[in-house]
Amino acid sequence: MAIDLFPSAWITEEHRMLQESAARFFWERWVPRAAEFRAAGVMGAEVWREAGRQGLLCMSMPEAYGGGGGDFGHDAVMLMEQGRANLSGFGGGLHSAIVAPYILHHGSESQKQRWLPKMATGELIGAIAMTEPGTGSDLQSVRTLARRDGDHYLLSGQKVFITNGQTANLLIVVCKTDKAQGAKGISLLVVEVEDAAGKLLPGYQRGRNLEKIGMKAQDTSELFFEEVRVPVENLLGGDTGQEGLGFIQLMQELPQERLIIAVSAIGAMERALADTLAYTKQREAFGQPIWNFQNTRFKLAEVQSNVLAARTFVDACMTAHLSGTLDPARAALVKAWVTDLQCKVMDECLQLFGGYGYMMEYPIAELYADARVQRIYGGTNEIMKELASRYM
């Protein structure tokens, strides 16, 4: 049994109730289907609707827009339980705590009324299309272009590594509305990629579902836009519909995205530690449990201290974020430090499983493979350190 973590000051009784409910749902409904999801490479639309019925989508969105009326803490406890359940394939965190907040914070009233209630039910599945084949973390260099044509934009370009790419029918696309203005020419355009009959818009194409080292059940895709007609009213520019606000909007929302990554890492590390403790106490070598060897106990004591430290750092950032005081530097550092630590923890735990740790039938193998991308998306950890150093 792992040593108890320090109490998380930000977790309320309501958060705990949700945490218990989400854990029970994940383990009863989705964990038994994990192999099915991995084989399909996607958790389909029916899974999203089931999540919506359970109230697990858009929990921090106001009730006026169909959400749960909670705060980011509700999203966070769900992400932790998702990590403990080893369900990296579900992109609900991105949908609820990244895509929906862009609409809530930067959309017009009509846009909020139009999209958020359907996101809460899972009828609309959200994704954000930032990365391009040649841009990576350098968002100022995006080439996707939205050219004004009357009361529409003609959207052309290519995106890659898009989470929920195969299932999403509501995309926030990072694009240039004025390619001569650099960062000031970036806008966020919301694209409803399907018509009322469920047919894809002319010029829009989902590319292949990318084969990854880990996160096998998560659909991660290439997306292509060729003169896709998008109404001007779909621009995220507040009530005035102003172009060129995209880079500022991205900078305002990215700290929460980075905290989401750190939060999900905590749940996965706690699961890895629990599984490894259980395994080493029942697996025997040389006539005794592996736990009896001093090396095993020392290694897992180190893992336990790392989990305690990481959870304490994340808790401090959660408290700051919920009070509106989490700055970009600390958000970058918690993302970088915790995900670096996550990969170290997974490696140490997998080693104690021996050859079985390399077998996908053991959850530790999937936890290990899933962890590696955490140091890359949301801004690489190298970029996170560069960003934080500018505040020093």
pLDDT for the residue 245:
94
Residue 176 burial (10 A CB sphere; 0-12, 13-18, 19+)? buried
The gap from C-alpha 315 to its chain's centroid, in whole angstroms, comes to: 18
Each residue of 237-251: pLDDT tens digit? 877 789 999 999 999
DSSP 34-94: HHHHHHHTS--HHHHHHHHHTT-SSTTS-GGGTS----HHHHHHHHHHHHHTT-TT--HHH
Residue 72 burial (10 A CB sphere; 0-12, 13-18, 19+)? buried
pTM above 0.85, yes or no: yes
Nearest 5°: the CA angle 36, 40, 43 is 80
Distance of CA 146 to CAs 149, 186, 227, Å?
9, 10, 8
B/e letters for 128-148, b = 16+ CB within 10 Å, e = fewer, are bbbbbeebbbebeebebbbee
pLDDT for the residue 213:
96
Each residue of 224-239: pLDDT tens digit? 999 999 999 999 987 7
CA distance 67 to 31: 25
pLDDT for the residue 254:
87
> What six digits make up the tokens of 239?
């009530």
Contact status, residue 293 vs residue 299, Cβ threshold 8 Å: no
Contact status, residue 63 vs residue 114, Cβ threshold 8 Å: no
Give the gyration radius of the chain's Cα atoms.
Answer: 21
Contact status, residue 347 vs residue 356, Cβ threshold 8 Å: no
Contact status, residue 163 vs residue 96, Cβ threshold 8 Å: no
Residues in CB range of 18: below 8 A, 6 or more apart = 59, 70, 74, 77, 78
Strands 126-129 and 170-176: parallel
Three-state secondary-structure class, residue 354: helix
pLDDT for the residue 358:
97
Three-state secondary-structure class, residue 161: strand
CA distance 190 to 128: 9
pLDDT in tens, the chain (392 residues): 888 989 999 999 999 999 999 999 999 999 999 999 999 999 999 999 999 999 999 999 999 999 999 999 999 999 999 999 999 999 999 999 999 999 999 999 999 999 999 999 999 999 999 999 977 667 778 999 999 999 999 999 999 999 999 999 999 999 999 988 888 999 999 999 998 778 999 999 999 999 999 999 999 999 999 999 999 999 998 777 899 999 999 999 989 999 999 999 999 999 999 999 999 999 999 999 999 999 999 999 999 999 999 999 999 999 999 999 999 999 999 999 999 999 999 999 999 999 999 999 999 999 999 999 999 999 999 999 999 999 99
Average pLDDT, the chain: 95
pLDDT for the residue 137:
67
Each residue of 43-96: pLDDT tens digit? 999 999 999 999 999 999 999 999 999 999 999 999 999 999 999 999 999 999
Distance of CA 94 to CAs 98, 235, 253, 305, 346, Å?
5, 20, 12, 29, 23
CA distance 155 to 148: 9
Give the residue numbers marked as catalytic: 257
Three-state secondary-structure class, residue 269: helix
DSSP 178-243: -TTSGGGGEEEEEEE-B-TTSPBPTTEEEEEE---SS-TTS-EEEEEEEEEEEEGGGB-BTBTT-S
